Copies of this chain bind each other. A is one copy, B any other.
């Protein structure tokens, strides 16, 4: 049985690293806070005698030997980076619960047949460097290391330079560290488990997600002396796109579509915006629906640019197909929840996860626990100690079940 208090203690201890006054965490990937939480994790892994490998994009893999050396490892993990307005559980729970599983096995003197592996993926949030799930995506071969290194944050700082600066560029080639299966515990980030009073979500898959960079270019000019009919206002065009994305998403059942990020130039009170850059985020469980939405967005962008007299650049920066998780892994989660005595419910994940990239390479699944009001990417994100412990217990049982098969 996992130690609920020890798990909660680790959650609260690491929440101090980048902790914000409103109870959240602002621990952007490859920042100094990210370095500190990575140092903390490394020290804990050392204390457990795990062997740690860091790959060339900063993904951390800590291995506990099994009784057999011919079996690939069973991995557990998630991410320790957060949103600028992140909560205390998104990602962190999956890593610290994995650590708690290893501590529990150590305390019990239990050795699995297969090795166990704890993983901390780099830049899952994609908040500082888009796209999201970049570390696992490079590991899975979806993006090249060069693509990753070249991604820049809004200040122009690059992923590669930031990784070097915090000292977490490992020697292992991305993708060279392998394992045989992956279990990711995560908060639901949706309202269903809480609403139905169910402890454990058995995740069947993840909806597809596509991100696009859109740049609209007009002419920066004086707001006072430039007549309305002589303007090329890039923000006016973007306003039409923001509303259009909302309309398109609402027109497709179960779809979501959002612009959450704008970079406005020069962003001055009395200058007509000359250039505006945005990230467009489209999601749906079906790739065909995503194709249709994408086509509609392309028309929308062209029309808005035309209407306002703007140039535009529209570029796909990521595409994660809908994922269906591995039946055997799912069976182990069901068995684990049963052993631990918790109700379950099948779910599809609305949020993207590193497990999506892992699933393309090895049998993978996820375990969800409730979060208050379905709220995440918000400092008020909340999951109770008992819910965290239940998730960690099911993670432990699922991994042991999978190991026994």
Query: Which residues of A approach B to under 8 Å, CB–CB?
Result: 83-85, 125-127, 130-132, 188-191, 207, 209, 211, 219-228, 230, 233, 235-236, 238-240, 242-243, 246, 249-250, 255-262, 264-274, 279, 281, 283, 349-352, 374-378
Contacts and interface: CB of A to CB of B under 8 A. Distances in A.
B224 A378 contact: no
B271 A279 contact: no
Given A221-B375, A224-B189, A236-B243, A270 B266 contact: no
A223 B130 CA distance: 14
Nearest to A283: B224
Given A269-B281, A351-B225, A352-B224, A233 B262 contact: no
Contacts of A261: 264, 267-269
Given A85-B220, A351-B224, A126 B269 contact: yes
A13 to B, nearest CB: 24
A238 B239 CA distance: 8
Contacts of A266: 83-85, 127, 377
The 5 closest A-B pairs by CB, nearest first: A225-B350, A239-B242, A239-B239, A223-B258, A85-B266
B189 A376 contact: no
Contact of A225 (B125, B126, B190, B222): B190
Given A189-B225, A220-B377, 8 more contacts: A85-B220, A85-B265, A219-B378, A224-B256, A224-B351, A228-B256, A262-B262, A270-B377
A130 B376 contact: no
B268 A221 contact: no
A131 to B, nearest CB: 8
Given A189-B222, A352-B224, A377-B220, A271 B260 contact: yes
B220 A350 contact: no
Given A226-B350, A242-B239, A350-B226, A260 B268 contact: yes
**Chain B CB within 10 Å — which of A84, A233, A235, A268 has the most?**
A268
Contacts of A132: 269-270
Given A222-B377, A226-B374, A377-B221, A125 B270 contact: yes
Given A127-B271, A261-B267, A256 B376 contact: no
A127 B349 CA distance: 43
Contact of A84 (B250, B268, B279, B281): B268
A318 to B, nearest CB: 10
A157 to B, nearest CB: 16
B269 A378 contact: no
